[in-house]
Amino acid sequence: MDLISESGSVILTSFGLTLRLAVFSGIFSLLLGVVLATFRVSPVPVLRWIGTAVVYTFRNTPLTLVMFFALFGLSYQLGFSFDKDLLYRNNFWLAVLALSVYTSTFVCEVLRSGINTVPLGQAEAARAIGLTFTQNLRLIVLPQALRSVINPLASVLIAMTKNTTVAVTIGVTTATMVNEASGQMKSLMERNSDQILLIFIIFAVGFMILTLPIGFIAGWAAKRFAVIR
Amino acid sequence: MSASVLYDAPGPRGKALNWLYSAIALAILAWVAWIVYSKFDETGQWEADKWTPFLKSETWENFLIPGLKGTLSAFAVGAVLALAFGFVFAVGRLSQSRFISIPSAVVVEFFRSIPMLLLMMFIYFMQQPLGLETNVFWAVVLGLMLYNGSVLAEVIRAGVGALPKGQAEAGVAIGLSPGQVMRTILLPQAVRSMLPAIIAQLVVLLKDTALGFILAYSELLNQIPKIDGNFDNLIPAAIVVALIYIALNTILGLVANFVEARTRRVGHTAGPVGHVAADPVAEAADLVQKGHAAGSAGGGGGGGAA
């Protein structure tokens, strides 16, 4: 158990960083996902094309490549930077950007399938009383769609939390140079080759602690907010 | 409900508004495209010698084809192993003996709930202490197998669960053993109805081979720095590699659509034909939750890990 006493606080710090990655990416991917879904069902053809193109491109590209491109393409080659002075801050937000854009395409598709579960009559009634497309979507369809996709949405968020490990491609660290979970696990395994199983179990349990609550909360919320039809 | 019921067929004013919105959207799109174009221009991404390497056969022979081989061999071996793993644990989890079903459930839920990258790293670093030579190919392939195999196990289990109860009952009634019922009646039908979802998971597996990049496995993504080292063209190389991935996934998607259409037409299954989901894995997880609410801890699931 030397490992715990030596590296316990580092492991906690690294999971703190992973958690921050997950929370920010979660918020931005949900927002961007709603925008993309709105584009994809909108009456304006150009917006539909844009939505479809974005979703098709990013769903079929590996996240590792998106992360790679964010750091080496966007930041190094094109000179785009979130923070010119603090490298660790720039890398953190690049990872959030990559993860948010990638995840938002999955959020978009889940929302779209949720829109399909709203009975036809709801939207027809909304149109009959003269609501516009945005009013229809905002007041009638999306609230019901969101409530019916809580479980699949939670699956997407769980996958996203696990996907924060891919941020090791960018090399996301805290100000004190602690890596996010996968980078930290790698460096611990390199330094303690006799305790690899123990290190793996610690990080595996760490991710279960991060992801299990999402599943439980979603299960509860799905029942609590279920649309009774 | 299709998208079109969200709005009426536009009248004269609606049409004018749609034109206006289209124009605004196009203007914004053009503005973004201009920013990208000028950024590319500023940093010299449009220079011909950054793109012409991709027209030469040497670039393909030396970099892209070997990378493609790495990606496809990891995909092929990983897919076969994941399917085998999926079948074994789906059947295991459906077993009537608790000594088999509970351990199978634990294995499946465990591997579904941890990031695949951590699995690959663990296998990579575990090889040496076990007295094996460190082999990055097997680290990638076994990682792919354990995660995707677990997801496939759930997909197959959901497929069996979605079959009408009478199918198994009829099998038992004519005197088949539980194993025979599973092998000759349930699995063939479940696989047929779930084939589109299974192929969709293979798309995820193909994308996940890119995680090998992080362990320095020589796959497609790993060729970008090499090409960049030769021609100083990182962005063009990344774009070409992304297009290759999109093409590969499109081919698999077309196969899934074809299989789905065929299964729908030909039948041969009592189960519902799993349509190619907009989000296959989330939908499969959803299906699993619906079909087997008790068994699913809700902790796993989730889309592509990379």
List of chain A residues whose C-beta atoms are within 8 Å of the C-beta of residue B301: 154-155, 158-159, 215
List of chain B residues whose C-beta atoms are within 8 Å of the C-beta of residue A57: 242, 246
List of chain B residues whose C-beta atoms are within 8 Å of the C-beta of residue A50: 25, 29
pLDDT average, residue stretch B122-141: 92
Cβ of B34 under 8 Å from any chain A Cβ? no
Cβ of B27 under 8 Å from any chain A Cβ? no
Supply the pLDDT for residue B152.
95
Confidence of residue B14 (pLDDT cuts 50, 70, 90): confident
What angle (nearest 5°) sits at the alpha carbon of residue B219, between those of residues B277 and A189?
A: 95
Cβ of B153 under 8 Å from any chain A Cβ? no
Cβ of B127 under 8 Å from any chain A Cβ? no
CB B93 within 8 A of CB B105: yes
Looking at every residue in chain A, the average pLDDT score rounds to 90
Interface probe for A, chosen from B26, B121, B254 (most Cβ of A below 10 Å), is: B121
**Sign of the C-alpha dihedral computed for residues B295, B116, A100 and B281 taken in this order:** negative
List of chain B residues whose C-beta atoms are within 8 Å of the C-beta of residue A215: 297-299, 301
Interface probe for A, chosen from B21, B114, B234, B248 (most Cβ of A below 10 Å), is: B114
Residue B302 to residue A197, Cβ atoms within 8 A: no
Instruction: List, as own/partner pairs, every contact residues B225-229 make where C-beta atoms lie below 8 angstroms and the sequence separation is at least 24, other chains included.
Output: B226/B63, B227/B53, B227/B59, B227/B63, B227/B64
d(CA B197, CA B279): 10
Taking the CA of residue B170 and the nearest CA in chain A, the distance in Å comes to 34
**Sign of the C-alpha dihedral computed for residues A199, A201, A204 and A209 taken in this order:** negative
Of A61, A79, A165, the CB nearest to B246: A61
Instruction: Inform me whether the pLDDT recorded for B285 exceeds 50.
Output: no
Cβ of B299 under 8 Å from any chain A Cβ? yes
Looking at every residue in chain B, the average pLDDT score rounds to 84
Confidence of residue B120 (pLDDT cuts 50, 70, 90): very high
Taking the CA of residue A136 and the nearest CA in chain B, the distance in Å comes to 7
Confidence of residue A118 (pLDDT cuts 50, 70, 90): confident
Cβ of B26 under 8 Å from any chain A Cβ? yes
pLDDT in tens, B232-284: 888 999 999 999 999 999 999 898 888 888 877 776 677 776 544 444 444 44
Confidence of residue B177 (pLDDT cuts 50, 70, 90): very high
d(CA A146, CA A34): 10
DSSP calls for B193-213: HHHHHHHHHHHHHHHHGGGGG
Residues of chain B above pLDDT 90, percent:
50
Interface probe for B, chosen from A49, A60, A99 (most Cβ of B below 10 Å), is: A60
Instruction: Inform me whether the pLDDT recorded for A79 exceeds 90.
Output: no
Instruction: Inform me whether the pLDDT recorded for B141 exceeds 90.
Output: yes
Cβ of B107 under 8 Å from any chain A Cβ? no
Confidence of residue A34 (pLDDT cuts 50, 70, 90): very high
Of A40, A78, A193, the CB nearest to B128: A193
What angle (nearest 5°) sits at the alpha carbon of residue B176, between those of residues B174 and B179?
A: 155
Of B40, B299, B306, the CB nearest to A64: B306
For chain A, give the longest Cα–Cα distance.
Answer: 70
CB atoms within 10 A of CB B178: 15
CB A34 within 8 A of CB A124: no
CB hemisphere CA count around B172 (13 angstroms): 6
pLDDT in tens, B213-240: 999 999 999 999 999 888 888 899 999 9
> Which of 48-67 (B) contact A at CB < 8 A?
none
Interface probe for A, chosen from B22, B42, B68, B125 (most Cβ of A below 10 Å), is: B125
Interface probe for B, chosen from A165, A170, A187 (most Cβ of B below 10 Å), is: A165
- Search chain B and give the residue with CA nearest A37: B3
Of A60, A116, A203, the CB nearest to B245: A60
Confidence of residue A66 (pLDDT cuts 50, 70, 90): very high
Residue type (1 letter), B222? N
Supply the pLDDT for residue B259.
84
Of B203, B245, B305, the CB nearest to A159: B305
Of A63, A155, A200, the CB nearest to B301: A155
Of B7, B221, B285, the CB nearest to A65: B221
Residue B246 to residue A200, Cβ atoms within 8 A: no
d(CA B236, CA B264): 42
What is the pTM assigned to this prediction? 0.86
> Which of 155-174 (B) contact A at CB < 8 A?
none
Query: And the tokens for B216?
Result: 């320095």
Residue A61 to residue B245, Cβ atoms within 8 A: yes
pLDDT average, residue stretch B103-130: 93
> Which of 243-272 (B) contact A at CB < 8 A?
245-246, 249-250
